[in-house]
Structure 1
Amino acid sequence: MCRRSPRLSVVSSVLTGLALVAHPGPQSFSSPSSGLEHRLEELLRPRGVSGKSPCPGAKHRCRTLGELYSSRGFQPLWVDATGPRPRARALVEALRASRLEGLGTGPYRLEALEALTARAGTDLDSLARLELRLSGVALLHAEHRRHGRVSPEEQRPPWRIGPREAEPARVLAALAQETDPLEAFAALDPPHEGYRRLRAALAEYRALAARGGWLQVPKGPPLSLGSRGKRVLALRARLEATGDLAPTDGEPSPTFDEPLAAAVRAFQQRHGLPEDGVVGKSTLATLRVPVTARIRQLLLNLERWRWVPDRLGERYVAVNIPAYELRAVASDAVALQMRVVVGQHDKRTPIFADTIERLIINPVWSLPPRIAAEKLFERAPSDPQWVTRNGYQLFSGKQTLDPNDIDWTALEGSRLPFRVRQKPGSNNALGRLKLDMPNRFSVYLHDTPQRRLFALPYRALSYGCVRLERPVELAGFLLANEPEWSAERVAEAMEAGQTVTVALSEPVPVYLFYSTSFVDEAGRLHFRPDPYGADKDLAWRLRKIDRDWNR
Structure 2
Amino acid sequence: MKSLGKKTVLLSIAALTATLALGAPQASADGLFDMLFGGSGGRPGQSPSMRGGDDYFGDTYGRGEPRKQVRRGEFPPPPGTRKQAAIAKITGPTYNTYKADPLVRVDFSSLSAAPQKVAFEPGQTDGAFRDALAGLVGYDLLAESANAKALVAYYAANPGFIWVTGTEVNERAKQALRVLGEAASYGLAPSDYTVEVPVATVTDPAARTKEMIRFEMALSARVLRYIDDAQDGRIDPNKISGYYDFPAKPFDREAALKALAHTQETATYLESRHPQNPEYQALRVELETLKASEENQIVVDPKLKLKPGETSPELPKLLSLIARDLDDEMGGAYGEVLARLGTSETYGQELVPVIKAAQKKAGQKGDGVIGPRTVAALAGSSKADRIAKVQYALEELRWHPSDLGSPRVFINQPAYTASYIDGGVEKLKTRTVIGKVTNQTSFFFDEIKQVDYNPYWGVPQSILVNEMLPRLRRDPGYLDRAGYEVTDARGKRIPSNAVDWGAYGSKIPYNVRQQPSEANALGELKILFPNKHAIYMHDTPQKAFFQRDMRALSHGCVRLQDPRGMAAAVLDTSVDYIADKLAQGHSSQQVTRKIPVYVAYFTAWPDMSGKVEYFDDVYGRDDRLRQALEAVAAVRSPSS
Check the 8 A contact 2:435/2:555 in 1, yes or no. Answer: yes
Q: Which of 328, 348, 352 lines up with 2:444 in the alignment?
A: 352
Change (3 A) 1:335 1:166: farther
| SS across alignment from 1:346 | helix
Instruction: Say which of 118, 122, 127 aligns to 1:33.
Output: 127
Deviations 1:488-539 (A, max 9, x none): 232123234x211222333532221111110101343212222333211110
- Show the counterpart of 1:311: 403
Q: 1:234 aligns with which of 296, 299, 317?
A: 317
> Which residue, 619, 623, 628 being the options, matches 1:541?
628
Matched, 1:520 2:611: no
Q: Which of 222, 228, 251 is 1:137 aligned to?
A: 222
Q: How far did 1:163 drift? A: 4.0
Q: Secondary structure at 1:360's aligned position in 2? A: strand
Cα shift readout 1:451-500 (whole Å, capped 9, x = no counterpart): 111112222222222222111111111222xxxx643232123234x211
1:240/1:59 CA distance change after superposition, 3 Å: farther
Between the aligned partners of 1:398 and 1:160, the Cα distance in structure 2 is: 31
What is the CA-CA distance between 1:348 and the residue it aligns to?
A: 2.3
Corresponding residue for 1:19? none
Per the TM alignment, residue 438 of structure 1 is displaced from its structure 2 partner at its CA by 2.5
1:264–1:277 CA contact under 8 A, matched in 2? no
* Counterpart selection for 1:281 from 356, 369, 372: 372
Query: Paired residue for 2:576?
Result: 488
1:265 to 331, 347, 359: 359
2:192 is the counterpart of 1:107: yes
Task: Quote the offset at 1:192 in angstroms.
Answer: 0.9
Task: Give 1:171 shift.
Answer: 8.0
1:385-396 mapped onto 2 (5 Å cutoff): 387-396=479-488
Moved more, 157-166 or 327-336: 157-166
C-alpha spacing 1:544/1:415, structure 2 compared with 1 (3 Å): closer
Aligned residues: 504
CA separation of 1:76 and 1:237: change in aligned 2, threshold 3 A: same
Kindly tell me: are residues 277 and 198 of structure 1, through their superposed partners in 2, closer, same or farther at Cα, counting changes over 3 Å?
A: farther
Name the structure 1 match of 2:343. Answer: 254
Q: Following superposition of structure 1 onto structure 2, how do residues 55-134 of structure 1 map, counting pairs within 5 Å?
A: 56-69=142-155, 73-78=159-164, 80-81=166-167, 83-85=168-170, 88-109=173-194, 113=196, 116-117=198-199, 121=203, 123-134=208-219
CA distance in 2, matches of 1:462, 1:476: 24
- Residues 40 and 232 of structure 1, relative CA distance in 2, 3 Å threshold: farther
Which 10-residue stretch deviates more, 170-179 or 153-162?
170-179
Deviation at 1:301, TM superposition (A): 0.8
| Cα distance in 2 between the residues matched to 1:41 and 1:405 | 78
Matched, 1:529 2:624: no
1:465 is aligned with what amino acid?
A: C
Instruction: Specify the code of the residue in structure 2 equivalent to 1:509.
Output: P
CA offsets, 1:5-35, max 9 Å, x none?
Answer: xxxxxxxxxxxxxxxxxxxx9989985233x
Q: CA deviation at 1:385?
A: 6.8
- Per-residue CA distance 1:405-462 (angstroms, 9 max, x = gap): 6677x46966556432211110111111122333222222221111111112222222
For 1:233, the aligned partner's letter is P
TM-score (norm 2): 0.69
Q: Which residue of structure 1 lines up, in the alignment, with residue 96 of structure 2?
A: none
Q: State the shift of 1:170 in Å.
A: 12
After TM superposition, the structure 1 = structure 2 runs for residues 104-503 of structure 1, keeping only pairs within 5 Å, are 104-109=189-194, 113=196, 116-117=198-199, 121=203, 123-164=208-249, 179=264, 181-208=266-293, 211-218=294-301, 221-223=304-306, 230-239=313-322, 253-255=342-344, 257=351, 261=355, 264-265=358-359, 268-269=362-363, 273-285=364-376, 287=379, 289-377=381-469, 387-396=479-488, 400-403=493-496, 410=502, 415-416=507-508, 418-480=510-572, 486-496=574-584, 498-503=585-590
Q: Of residues 31, 39, 50 in structure 1, which corresponds to 2:138?
A: 50
Helix, strand or coil for the counterpart of 2:163?
coil
- Partner letter of residue 303 of structure 1? E
CA contact 1:324–1:340 (8 Å) conserved in 2: yes
CA–CA distance in structure 1, aligned partners of residues 239 and 509 of structure 2: 37
The match for 2:21 is none
Distance 1:187-1:416 versus aligned 2 partners, 3 A rule: closer
Is residue 433–residue 447 contact of structure 1 (8 Å, CA) maintained in 2? yes
Return the offset for 1:296.
0.9
Unaligned runs of 5+ in 1: 1-24
Letter aligned with residue 422 of structure 1: Q
Aligned mates of 1:400, 1:180 — CA distance in 2:
67
Distance in structure 2 (CA, Å) of the matches to 1:528 and 1:356: 26
Report how far residue 63 of structure 1 moved: 3.9
For 1:57 and 1:158, locate their aligned partners in 2 and report how far apart those are by CA, in whole Å: 29
Which region of structure 1 is more displaced relative to structure 2, 396-405 or 501-510?
A: 396-405
Letter in 2 for 1:522: S
Q: 1:161–1:309: 8 Å Cα contact kept in structure 2?
A: no
Q: Which amino acid aligns with 1:489?
A: Y
Is the CA contact 2:135–2:209 (under 8 Å) kept in the aligned structure 1?
A: no
Secondary structure at the aligned position of 2:438 is classed as coil
Distance 2:341 2:225 in 1: 51
Asked whether the equivalents of residues 65 and 135 of structure 1 are also in contact (C-alpha less than 8 Å), the reply is yes
Greater gyration radius: 2
Q: Cα distance 1:493–1:302, how it changes in 2: closer, same or farther (>3 A)?
A: same
TM-score, normalised by the number of residues in structure 1: 0.79
Corresponding letter in the other structure for 2:600: F
Residue 261 of structure 1: how far off its partner (Å) = 2.4
